[in-house]
Amino acid sequence: MESLTTIITIVGILLGGVVSWHALNSTSDLEQVFLTREQKIKLYILNLIVLSGIISILSTIFYILWNGMFKEKLEMDAVFLFGMAIFIICLISLGAIFRWIHNFAIKHQYKYKVNLPGVGEVYILSMMNSEVCVCSEVPYENNEIGDSNSFLIKLETLMDNPLIKEKFLKPKRSILQKLID
């Protein structure tokens, strides 16, 4: 009876994770601008878990097929450990690999601009919470809150104005900054 309860709990957790992952991943580019930091972190972690799971399942299937061709007996404990090892290695390494690809290969960034009466043109950098946006006159992603160019603007104020998507070159950084970031 305990095993049935455990299985039901695991299935419930997996379904909740899948629903949450799908809800965050099905947002458009414009909707992702208005995700809070917590939602972006959750999306990042869920994407890493799903991708690591897919890679580990495919690797395990390849391992089973490869060993099936050369061995008559396949130990399921070894297969399970192999799959878990691949999952953990991918979970640890994929984040850094994607960050390096983003830092070295992607040369442009996109920001949404809005023209506010009395303030002028500002770029939406991020969401502080569900009601307040961090905006700036400078479109760079490295801009910090509290910088002289930063503004905290209520989301209601932005919704009354048209948003314009613009493409910018990323600011120049050294190779060391790209590796560490």
Same domain for 136 and 153, yes or no, is yes
Domain's final residue, options 89, 104, 119:
104
In this structure, the answer to whether residues 99 and 113 fall within a common structural domain is no
Task: Say how many domains are in the chain.
Answer: 2
Q: Are residues 15 and 96 in the same domain?
A: yes
Asked if residue 82 and residue 39 are part of one domain, the reply reads yes
pLDDT tens-place string over residues 1-27: 667 787 777 777 777 767 776 666 676
What pLDDT score does 56 carry? 92
Mean pLDDT of 119-135: 85
Phi, psi for 81 (deg, rounded to 5)? -65, -40
Q: Same structural domain for residues 129 and 61?
A: no
pLDDT category at 154 given cuts 50, 70, 90 is: confident
Give the 3-state secondary structure percentages of the chain, helix then strand then coil, rounded to 5: 55, 20, 25
Distances (CA, A) of 165 to 7, 81, 103, 105, 168: 46, 47, 21, 21, 10
Residues 82 and 142 in one domain: no
Q: Which structural domain range is residue 167 located in?
A: 108-180
Q: Are 42 and 88 in contact (CB under 8 A)?
A: no
Please tell me whether residues 80 and 117 are part of one structural domain: no
Residue 20 sits in the same domain as residue 50: yes
In whole angstroms, give the CA distance from residue 137 to residue 88: 42
Check residue 140 and report its DSSP letter.
-
Task: Retrieve residue 57's tokens.
Answer: 């399942």
31 and 92, same domain (yes or no): yes
Other CB atoms within 10 A of residue 123 CB: 22
| Residue that is last in its domain, among 78, 104, 130 | 104
| Tens-place pLDDT, residues 62-120 | 988 888 777 767 788 888 899 999 999 999 999 888 888 888 888 888 888 888 888 88
pLDDT of residue 93: 92
